[in-house]
Each structure stands twice: as C-alpha cells, then as structure tokens.
Amino acid sequence: MAANYNNSAWFYDRLSRLVYGKALIKAQVYLLRYIPTDTNILIVGGGTGWILEEISVIHPAGLTITYVEVAPAMMALSKKRQTAKNQVSFINQAVEEVLLEPVYDVIITPFLFDNFQEQTLEKVFEHLHQSLKLGGMWLNTDFQLTGKWWQRVLLRSMFLFFKILCNIEASSLPDIDSQYKKHHYQSVSKNTFYGDFIVAEVYKKELALTKI
C-alpha cells in the first residue's frame, strides 16, 4: 500500500522545521535557480506545496507546472498556494499510476525517494526518466548517510515515526544516486545541508551511449 501522508499534512511543515530548522527549505530553494525560464516542469511529492510559492518568486510567469501529489490532504493545502501567472495542473494520484508524456524540461523530486523500498524506487525512477526530455534537468533532494552516527539515529527515528503514522514502506534509504548513474545522468551541481545529511543535486539527462 502507498504511503499516506494525510495524517501528517496539518503539522508536517511545522515538524520538519522543528527538527531541521530551515535546512529542508534551503536544500530545495538551492535547486530552484536551475529552472530555466518558460519551461515545462513536473513536481512529484511536493507535500503542502510551499515549493510552488518559492518557484513563483523566482519565476512569476512562463512556467507550465504539473504537480503530482498522492495525499489528498497535502494536495488540498497545495492548491491554496500562490502560483503567480504560472500555469499549474494538479494531479492527486500516485505518480507511477499517472500517464506522463515525455514533455518535461525539469523534474523536481523533493524528499520523495526516501519513502520507497529499492524496488519501488526503480519503478518510479524509470517512469519519471521516460518523461524527461533529453538534456532536461532533474532536481533531487533527499537524505544521505555520510558515516556520522547521529544521521543513522535520526533516520531510523524518522522511518519509525512515518511508518506508524503514514505507513511508508521504507525502513532504510534506497540507493538513489545509483539510479542516476545507471541511467547516465550527468551531475551538474550539488550542495549539502544539515552537516551533510541532506543532499541537493542537479542532474542532466544525457544520451546513453552504448559501447560497440
């Protein structure tokens, strides 16, 4: 069964700010400078939708945004956001069930993949990969383990909390970076936050050259 973030929608942002301060926001805002003007964007798992307002500060017009979020309560909050003159289509469904055309210049996945077990990650990744244009940018941010003991403690607590409350399937971090490598993405830019625990990375979709 898919994760159900409905139960946490009303306090999600406050809780994440309590634990991480502004780190989760900074990581996502860092990525937004890589959105070119007048582009077609896919956002998956945007939560309460505050990212729409941050995007609209940088790009008050010219963007066509498809916003896919599975939790109805998160979606309801997202729909109230100011999106300036950008055109936003809201899709309240699990992204793997949405028929996506290969039309996107930019994909944004903010703290989406940590919800998934390896198998789901592979499936969702492949689905999104097919929808990104060649040369398109994929802006991803998520947690990573860099060997510090407190990261494991914090991560384990988060998985337990969200498993009980939202029934997320993951209990450990899937190997996100390997998916980008496997699909021949080029890392364009990268920054870390909260003592390396959070990584925000910009990937570019390249032509996969097969060896002869």
Binding site for ligand SAM (CB under 6 A): 2-3, 5, 24, 44-47, 68-71, 74, 94-96, 110-112, 115
Q: Which is nearer to ligand SAM, 63 or 70 (CB)?
A: 70
Q: Which is nearer to ligand SAM, 87 or 167 (CB)?
A: 167
Q: Which is nearer to ligand SAM, 76 or 94 (CB)?
A: 94
Minimal distance, residue 210 CB to ligand SAM, in Å? 31
Contact yes or no for 91/115 (Cβ under 8 A): no
User: How far apart (Å, rounded) are the C-alpha atoms in residues 185 and 205?
Assistant: 5
* Residues 6 or more apart in contact with residue 74 via CB below 8 angstroms: 5, 6, 9, 12, 46, 47, 48, 49
Minimal distance, residue 67 CB to ligand SAM, in Å? 10
Contact yes or no for 48/77 (Cβ under 8 A): yes
Minimal distance, residue 205 CB to ligand SAM, in Å? 20
Minimal distance, residue 16 CB to ligand SAM, in Å? 6
